[in-house]
Structure 1
Amino acid sequence: MRTGIATVCLSGTLKEKMQACAIAGFDGIEIFEQDLVTSPHSPEEVRKMAADLGLGLDLYQPFRDFDGVTPELLKANLKRAEAKFNLMERLGMDTILVCSNVATATIDDDELRASQLAELAELAGDHGVEVAYEALAWGKYVNDYEHAYRLVEMVDHPNLGTCLDSFHILSRDWDTAPIEQINAEKIFFVQVADAPKLSMDVLSWSRHYRVFPGEGQFELAKFMGHVVRAGYTGPVSLEVFNDVFRQSDTERTAVDAMRSLIWLEEQSAKWLASTAVETGTETAAGNGSASRRRYPMELATLPKVNEPAGFNFAEVKADDTAQLEKLLGQLGFEFEGRHRTKDVQLWTMGQARVIINEQAASHSEPAIAALGFDVDSPVIASARAQQLKAPVVARKVQADEEVFQGISAPDSTEIFLCQGSPDGTAAWTHEFGEGLEHSAAQRNAVIDHVNLAQPWQHFDEAVLFYTSALALEPQPFAEVPSPSGLVRSQVMETSNGAVRLVLNLAPAQQSQETARKTYQEHIAFAVDDLVATARSARDRGLEFLQIPANYYEDLDARFDLQPDFLATLMELNLLYDRDANGEFLHFYTATVGSVFFEMVERRGNYDGYGAPNAPVRHAVQYDSLHRV
């Protein structure tokens, strides 16, 4: 699949955008007209830069408001078009995007539109240019891709085809199946963009809230599957208008964009394979077995991996670890000892493992630095992540020490892919010396979920990263009220809930480093008996997050709890939630640095996170942070 991206997706100058696209590995680019107009480089210089960078110049865009106009305006539009065709010759470009008219169309007549597009196509042919006509979702008279293609057929000129844009099609809920009936030779260009499902006017939605594939909710694999079945072989190019992307680091955004196309290519191949089986369109191979039907556009796939089986460990890094050690001990974690060659400690409670890392700690106070996940094959999982442009994280090891496959997440959290064990043990723990004598208490404890703060520039990037590299599925996002404003919360989890990762959007005014140091994150541990755990922790001097009495009055009104049970919750600062499937008990510790811990107990089939209690936690933490 030939990959492309529109320069409008990125921040920076045209030169910076082109360099970033080349570094990310794109085959070609679309030049957005404003980027060229504002560039100090001549068209000839831009052409040479592209050649030097190995980038194709695939599309010049956009040419607006051409069709459905009066004869006088048509004359002016053709003059304007010829100037652009001359410019494209200097650039060495041969395809231009022409949008259906939004502002100047006054005549709703397909015969007139076709005749005007025919004149444009004839003029384009004189300059060796092909015109890709696109139906804008908000076009005045033409807003449907099938309507646009009918006009192309009416004109029947070799220099006029159509452009299929996933946003303009999927935002209007147009059926994508008819794409397969379009003559592939008349599909001159394909643009893709994802988006969250929003209730707003489609123009504002398009101009501000598009995202890269895998970061929204559109059925892009299905869209691309129909495009492939139609026989299209040209570029698949990203056209994403997004306020955040236009403010973010150029190279990083380009890499995220490339990751999204790699992911989309794989998902489209999967869709084609699954629908071929459903419809019985697989072809018989020579040996009698079924094989996938081949299409003119070949879609590459990635190494296949299963979703993680669970958390292997969580790591907190700090200069001064005394408070952290005290807190884990009060919760009931047992010290397993120090690593034999590294300045690292291991603390465990059942199968929940926490590493305290004092090596070259860059934070003066504790902060979550790494997460380990149990996977079937760490090497294959790492190879997949690297093909998805994930940076590699290497750690020094000595003989007879576990070699972790590591990658870096968008928020700089290090992700380690570990060899899972059926009994939940971890082979690397033998590298630690003897610690305290173990008790049998809470031997079934596990890491339930981890909550990570995400810098505002990279929230969507993080969603795609964990979806594509770790096979976690994004759940519907929520917005939680707090004294600092609404906190956007995105749950990423495996199908069985063995891995639950919660991504919270950090305040926009903070930089990435500031967010990681000051925005609170936490690790939650699941135990069998939370009340007993809380009583033991209290006896060991644990400082609980103090829950206001008003919360318990409201809780009683909502659930009509037994008085003794309610009294226990109040006594131990426990929070409670209940749904049709079960109950949820949890408590929080005070914060150390930017980290706090949560202990939870899931009863029945409760599958949530105590969401109604989140505003209470945010308010109490805010009060503690700002208390004089």
Structure 2
Amino acid sequence: MSASLGRAWFHDFDYKVGQAGKAGFKGIEIFYEDLEQVARKMANNNKDTLTPEQLLAAASHCYDACHRSGLTIIGLQPFLFYEGLKDRAQHNRLLEKMKLWLQIAKRLCTNTIQIPANFLPADQLTGDRDVIAADLRELADLGAAETPVVRFAYENLCWSTHIDTWEALWDVVQRVDRPNFGVCLDTFNIAGRVWADPISPTGTTTNADADLKASLDHLVREVDVRKVFYIQVVDAERMRAPLVVGHPFHVDGNPPRMSWSRNARTFMYENDRGAYLPAENVARAIIFGLGYKGYVSMELFSRTMSEPGEQVPVEHAQRGITAWKKFVERLQLEQ
């Protein structure tokens, strides 16, 4: 297994990937906002809509920067707000957008695009899983027509409107029924839905331990490891006060778990930063229960990543690789 680093587009892209490479990471996820930042810098374009040519040139630059730092690009993410839309004109616009993303993926020399399960308001979406699967099948077929084939890694977010558990995710993947359509499994999004609750004074759901054990036992029985395209291993802070109106992270209209995710994730084992999820238990189920072998992304969303200063990417790269090394040691993994 190898570690990869995900998410951190506030700071200069080349500098960030340089620090990730120096720290010892072998792969990286490219966040679309990173690509836009690079494109605007290259084109000196801070106002106008970016052209496909500008984005493709930025993708080539990102690949070169990663290659110089010894980093494989394991995926491009996130292709947002696509499946299950009631607005079918917007659906068609996003299908056209995906055609550009497929070209971008080629420039990045990656074969994987990640799709987070839709979290638009419920009145804009259908919960009909046949419709959701049909929409995603269209993307899979576009990717299958490429050379090389592009894969799609669908991910449940613990605040997604309809597909917020791995069980719902797996049901959709089976309905899509395409070899290049699989899953990204995330320890935060699994534990953060069935075990943790940021609005609870205890930080957990009512039957947290029993429900998580049952869910992971079910995952090991049901999921085909060949459909697990990559995994993300990350923890999160326990809120000192429930994340409700009045909490510093609360945003009107946003699900509490979304606000929690965007502000308060931590790397594994960072107990001094409030990490408390049973993330290692989830990872063990995927790696040993399913037999997963492949990239492990140390993906992080946190308010700390938006702090200014050149030391911020350095500190996060070092924190991430420290967590990875402890993860390897505790699970006795082969790299």
Counterpart in 2 of 1:234?
294
Q: Equivalents in 2 of 1:59, 1:132: separation in Å?
A: 9
Q: Equivalents in 1 of 2:35, 2:14: separation in Å?
A: 10
| Equivalent position amino acid for 1:171 in 2 | G
Are the equivalent residues in 2 in contact too, given 1:11–1:17 (CA < 8 A)? Answer: no
Are the equivalent residues in 2 in contact too, given 1:220–1:264 (CA < 8 A)? Answer: no
Matched position secondary structure for 1:238: strand
| Equivalent position amino acid for 2:84 in 1 | G
Query: What is the deviation of 1:11?
Result: 5.4
Counterpart in 2 of 1:184?
225
Matched position secondary structure for 1:252: helix
Counterpart in 2 of 1:109?
128
User: Please, what is the CA RMSD of the aligned residues?
Assistant: 1.7
Any residues of structure 2 matched to 1:386-405 within 5 Å, and which?
none
Counterpart in 1 of 2:277?
218
Counterpart in 2 of 1:422?
none
Pick from 78, 83, 93 the counterpart of residue 110 of structure 2: 93
Query: What is the deviation of 1:242?
Result: 1.1
**Structure 2: unaligned runs, 5 residues or longer:** 43-57, 196-211, 244-255
Any residues of structure 2 matched to 1:525-544 within 5 Å, and which?
none
Pick from 178, 184, 197 the counterpart of residue 163 of structure 1: 184
Are the equivalent residues in 2 in contact too, given 1:6–1:240 (CA < 8 A)? Answer: yes
| Equivalent position amino acid for 1:243 in 2 | R
Q: Equivalents in 2 of 1:264, 1:245: separation in Å?
A: 22
Query: What is the deviation of 1:299?
Result: 4.0
Bigger RCO of structures 1 and 2 (CA < 8 A, at least 6 apart): 2
| Equivalent position amino acid for 1:214 in 2 | Y
Matched position secondary structure for 1:218: coil
Any residues of structure 2 matched to 1:445-484 within 5 Å, and which?
none
Please identify the structure whose Cα radius of gyration is greater.
Answer: 1
Are the equivalent residues in 1 in contact too, given 2:187–2:232 (CA < 8 A)? Answer: yes
Matched position secondary structure for 2:74: strand
Counterpart in 1 of 2:198?
none
Are the equivalent residues in 2 in contact too, given 1:221–1:267 (CA < 8 A)? Answer: no
Any residues of structure 2 matched to 1:133-152 within 5 Å, and which?
133-152=154-173
Are the equivalent residues in 2 in contact too, given 1:114–1:152 (CA < 8 A)? Answer: yes
Counterpart in 1 of 2:252?
none
| Equivalent position amino acid for 2:127 in 1 | D
Q: Equivalents in 1 of 2:7, 2:118: separation in Å?
A: 22
Q: Equivalents in 2 of 1:220, 1:106: separation in Å?
A: 30
Over 4 Å off, 4+ runs: none
Are the equivalent residues in 2 in contact too, given 1:190–1:235 (CA < 8 A)? Answer: yes
Pick from 256, 273, 278 the counterpart of residue 319 of structure 2: 256
Counterpart in 1 of 2:3?
3
Matched position secondary structure for 2:320: helix
**Does 2:236 correspond to 1:195?**
yes
Pick from 92, 95, 100 the counterpart of residue 78 of structure 1: 95
Matched position secondary structure for 1:225: helix
Matched position secondary structure for 1:223: helix
TM-score between the two structures when normalised by the length of structure 1: 0.42
TM-score between the two structures when normalised by the length of structure 2: 0.77
Query: What is the deviation of 1:178?
Result: 2.7
Identity level (%):
27
Q: Equivalents in 1 of 2:230, 2:103: separation in Å?
A: 21
Query: What is the deviation of 1:91?
Result: 1.5
**Does 2:36 correspond to 1:37?**
yes
Q: Equivalents in 2 of 1:238, 1:80: separation in Å?
A: 28
Aligned residue pairs, count: 271
Are the equivalent residues in 2 in contact too, given 1:222–1:268 (CA < 8 A)? Answer: no
Query: What is the deviation of 1:57?
Result: 0.4
Query: What is the deviation of 1:266?
Result: 2.2
Q: Equivalents in 1 of 2:216, 2:324: separation in Å?
A: 19
Are the equivalent residues in 2 in contact too, given 1:23–1:251 (CA < 8 A)? Answer: no
Query: What is the deviation of 1:142?
Result: 1.0
Which has the larger share of strand?
A: 1
Are the equivalent residues in 1 in contact too, given 2:133–2:175 (CA < 8 A)? Answer: yes
Q: Equivalents in 2 of 1:73, 1:45: separation in Å?
A: 30
In structure 2, relative to structure 1, the CA distance for the partners of 1:220 and 1:265 (3 Å cut) is farther
Any residues of structure 2 matched to 1:203-214 within 5 Å, and which?
203-214=258-269
Any residues of structure 2 matched to 1:227-306 within 5 Å, and which?
227-228=286-287, 229-247=289-307, 248-269=311-332, 298-299=333-334
In structure 2, relative to structure 1, the CA distance for the partners of 1:27 and 1:179 (3 Å cut) is farther
Q: Equivalents in 2 of 1:196, 1:255: separation in Å?
A: 19
Any residues of structure 2 matched to 1:367-386 within 5 Å, and which?
none
Q: Equivalents in 1 of 2:104, 2:305: separation in Å?
A: 28
Counterpart in 1 of 2:201?
none
Query: What is the deviation of 1:123?
Result: 0.7
Matched position secondary structure for 1:143: coil
Which has the larger share of helix?
A: 2
Matched position secondary structure for 1:3: strand
| Equivalent position amino acid for 1:4 in 2 | S
Any residues of structure 2 matched to 1:425-436 within 5 Å, and which?
none
Q: Equivalents in 1 of 2:302, 2:284: separation in Å?
A: 25
